[in-house]
A and B are shown apart, each in its own frame.
Chain A
Amino acid sequence: MAVVRLRAPLSELAGGKRELELAGSTVSEVLKALEREHPDTRGWILDERGAIREHINVFVNKEYGREDTSVTPSDRLHVIPAISGG
């Protein structure tokens, strides 16, 4: 299973876990698995349409990932707020 790395406040919503092993063959599937395992994360990374929120970056290893980016069990996903805001 892929490893998903979270930072606060997402890690707090995931029961205090900063690193989780989750199943899925795409970024979208892995993040939906996260929502199923930790329902409090619902709506925080993916919006209600299943799209990655505009100001959230999901890296698959060192590359930017999209919803349909392939994921293998050896991959690491990093969920990180984008460099934006005011």
Chain B
Amino acid sequence: MTELLVGTKKGLFVLESDGEAFAITSRHFAGEPVEFATRDARTGRTFACVTSAFYGPKIFYTDDLAAEWQQASGIELPEDAEKPLERLWTIVPAEADDHLYAGGAPGILFESHDGGASWELNTAFWEQPTRPEWSPGAGGMCMHSIATWPGDPSRVALAISAVGVWLTDDGGQTWRHGNKNLYPRYMPEEARADTIDLCVHNMHRAPKRPERLFMQFHGGVYRSDDAGETWASIADGLPSDFGFPMVIDPDDPDSAYVIPLVADLDRTTPEGKVRVYETRDAGASWTARGEGLPSEDAYLTILRQAFCGDGAGTSMGLYFGATSGDVFGSRDAGKTWFTAATNLPPVHSVRAT
């Protein structure tokens, strides 16, 4: 059975399929924005990042979707923060047992060492000396991507819109930039070399070759083969280098999937066609994967956390949702697609469990 956790503007929807059509089996946090939901495969614990417009951002967790959710503790900034915590964007299991990371806005990293029940701010990152100079993207200063290193808990890469890539080799005690060769077209030419206003939209590490990372940038698609120190463009062959989500096949370090949008001023699928683009040669070439997806008068927006993979190889599942409320899926690594759900609220995130 495949289960999808679909975070939307108006709650979390759980969709299930036994290999045929998907059906909604439950709804949680009705009416509340659920920015992200995922399950820790190690423990079976499900997490939801809920950002009430009234009551502020929270992390909730449950070990049984039929039972009550618990509110995680410690999700707050220091009392002397200039602004309150804005939003939680992602939760990622770390390498050590019961260790998890959570990223959010304004550019913050939380850690849990008890399976997600309680959290603490990573103070080394919070106290970065350049923080007063950091600028948010349109969606806030969101830390959306946390790339752990399989087998090495000391090495982590983070990505923030719009504060670029950050690297640690000591488990988060110290951090440094990893931005070389990123090319921010939205900055004046004179400022591009030195700016830290780098709007990363998504970043993933290839688990089987962990020194390799793929990135969707705010105008650019990149690959790093030196653990995020330097980057090279791999956007040639795409209809647009603008987009938000990205997925990789965990068994294939030469793979990546993106969903291009027209441009920053027109964040819709190009030519009215919904297409996923796949590379299996590390970005040297891209292939459109659209069979079964809307191909006429379809101007969708797919947000950064609204695309996920499930498994690996030729039978890898791929699932994404749009702000239109549609959810699409593939059970053959993108070769063919089907509609998993329609008429949901605007989709913020999709994760398969």
Contact = CB atoms under 8 A, between A and B. Distances in A.
A56 B81 contact: no
Given A48-B76, A84-B53, A43 B81 contact: no
B304 to A, nearest CB: 20
B81 A40 contact: no
Interface in A47-86: 47-51, 53, 55-56, 81-82, 84-85
Contacts of A47: 56, 76, 84-85
Contacts of B55: 9-10, 43-45, 53, 56
B137 to A, nearest CB: 20
B84 A51 contact: yes
Nearest to A41: B55
A49 B58 contact: no
Nearest to B77: A48
A43 B56 contact: yes
B277 to A, nearest CB: 32
B317 to A, nearest CB: 32
A45 to B, nearest CB: 8
Interface string B75-96: 1111111001100000000000
Interface in B61-84: 71, 75-81, 84
Nearest to B58: A43
B319 to A, nearest CB: 26
Interface in A23-50: 40, 43-45, 47-50
Most buried by B among A10, A45, A48, A85: A48
A47 B84 CA distance: 6
Given A40-B71, A43-B58, A49 B79 contact: yes
A56 B54 contact: yes
B81 A82 contact: no
B88 to A, nearest CB: 13
A82 B58 contact: no
Nearest to A85: B53
Interface of A: 9-10, 40, 43-45, 47-51, 53, 55-56, 81-82, 84-85
Interface of B: 53-56, 58, 71, 75-81, 84-85
4 nearest A-B pairs in the assembled complex, by CB-CB distance: A47-B84, A48-B76, A81-B54, A44-B55
13 contacts: A43-B75, A43-B76, A47-B76, A48-B77, A48-B78, A48-B79, A48-B85, A49-B84, A53-B56, A55-B54, A56-B55, A82-B54, A85-B53
